[in-house]
Homo-oligomer: A and B are copies of this chain.
C-alpha cells in the first residue's frame, strides 16, 4: 500500500491498544508515519521526504530493486527449511566464506543478530567447556535472555543484581571519555592499557578457579556511543584471551558488510593478522529481511556437533533469505558501496571537524566509513554530557526532515550510520542542517548563562519556530 489505510491518529490509537508498550516509537510524542522508502529516503503518509541517516539495516538503500526482485522471485518458487538441499544456501555460504580470512569458513544461518549472538555463545561454551564471558561496558548484543545477561547496556538498567556472576565487564576502549584518554596517552598506549583491563578480568576469573569461554565485543561499539576501537586493541586483547584458553567473538551485526569502507568487516581494521574465532553478522545482511549468521572455524563447529544435539533453525538458510542476502552482496560490489562509504564518510568527518571549530558544543567527532559519532558536551574541559542538547538537536533535525538519533550511556552522541548509498549531496545537506541547529543551541547558551531548565525552555521555544 502506497498510502494510508487509516488516519495517523487511528494508527497511534491502535498501536497503544494492541502493541506492547515496551516497543518504543521514535519521537514518541510526535511519531512519524512512513509509507514508502527508496534509497536513503523515507516518505511519510503526507508525502514528506526524510533523509535517513540512521538505518543501518537498509544497507544498500531502502527497497533496493535488485534485492527486492531476488527475494520476490525466490518466494514465488520455493521457501523451505535447510533440511533439504538447495543451491542458494551453499552458494551463498561459499561466497560469504570468501569474504572472511581463514579459518573462518563455516556458516550457521539464523534469523536475527540475537539468534546469531546466542548461538555464538553456545559455540564458545561448547568448544571451551567453560561458561564465563568477558564483555565490554555499555555493550549491547541482543534482546534474548542470554544476551541481556551479557549486555551492560541493558542489565545496567535492571538493578544491581542483574549482572550474572559468570559475566565480567571490561572497560570500553573509549579514547574520549573512557578510563584512559587520548589527552594523556598515545593510541598505542591506549590499546595496551585497555587490553590490560581485559587481562585483569581474565586474572580475576582464573583466580576464582574458573575458565573463560569467550571475549565478545562489537568491532566498533554502536549503542555504547559509536566508539572507534584503538587500532592495536583487538590484537592485544585476542592474545590475552587466547592465552587463557578463551575464544574471541567479533559482533559485526551492526558494523559489518563494508560499513567501514576499507574492509568488509570492522575487525579487519585491526590488521590482517587479527582474526576472531567466531563472527556474528546480521542487520545489513538482508537489507531488512530477517536473516543473520554465525561464521566460525571448522574446529569450533565440530566441537558443537560433538554435543550430539542437532541445531535446527526453522527459517535459517531458507532459499529466500539466501537469495536476498546474495543480492545484497551483489549490490555492495556492483555499486561500489564500500568505496562510497569511505568517500562520503571521510568528507563528513572533515566537515564535522570544521563544525567543531565553530561550536564548543561538539566535544568529539569520530568515525570510520559510514559509522560516525558526534559527541555533544556542555563544556569541553569537564566533558559534561550535553544530553538535553543532543535530544533537542535530533528533534530539530526531524523538523528539517533529517532522521538522526542519539546513543551512548549519556545519550549525548549523535549517531550516523545511514544506508550506504548516502551521497555527498546528502552529506552537505546533513552538515548544513546540523550547522544551523548547533548554531541555535550554541547561540542560546553563549549569549546568557542559562540554567539547564532555562536552556530546555529556550530550546523548546526554538524548536517551535
Contact = CB atoms under 8 A, between A and B. Distances in A.
B87 A4 contact: yes
Contacts of A290: 111, 290-291, 314-315, 321
Given A4-B87, A5-B87, A22-B311, A80 B42 contact: yes
Nearest to A57: B314
Given A23-B311, A143-B313, A311-B22, A77 B63 contact: yes
A289 interface: yes
A36 interface: yes
Given A85-B31, A290-B321, A6 B106 contact: no
Contact of A78 (B37, B294, B301): B37
B20 A301 contact: yes
B75 A36 contact: no
A33 interface: yes
A22 B304 contact: yes
A21 B305 contact: yes
Contact of A84 (B26, B71, B148): B26
A282 B314 contact: yes
B315 A288 contact: yes
A163 interface: no
Contacts of A304: 20, 22
Contacts of A294: 20
A311 to B, nearest CB: 4
B94 A34 contact: no
A312 B24 contact: yes
27 contacts: A6-B90, A8-B85, A11-B86, A14-B93, A17-B94, A19-B93, A19-B107, A21-B302, A22-B309, A24-B83, A24-B310, A24-B312, A25-B84, A31-B84, A32-B84, A35-B77, A35-B78, A37-B80, A42-B78, A63-B76, A72-B75, A114-B144, A143-B312, A145-B145, A157-B308, A158-B307, A288-B318
Interface of A: 1-2, 4-6, 8, 11-12, 14-15, 17-26, 31-37, 42, 55, 57-58, 62-63, 65, 68, 71-72, 74-91, 93-94, 97, 105-108, 111-115, 118-119, 121-122, 143-146, 148, 154, 157-158, 282-283, 287-291, 294, 296, 301-302, 304-305, 307-318, 320-321
Closest 7 CB pairs of A and B: A18-B93, A14-B90, A79-B288, A22-B311, A33-B85, A145-B146, A72-B72
Given A18-B90, A42-B84, 15 more contacts: A14-B91, A19-B89, A19-B317, A20-B296, A20-B304, A35-B86, A57-B315, A63-B78, A71-B75, A72-B75, A75-B289, A112-B315, A118-B144, A157-B308, A288-B318
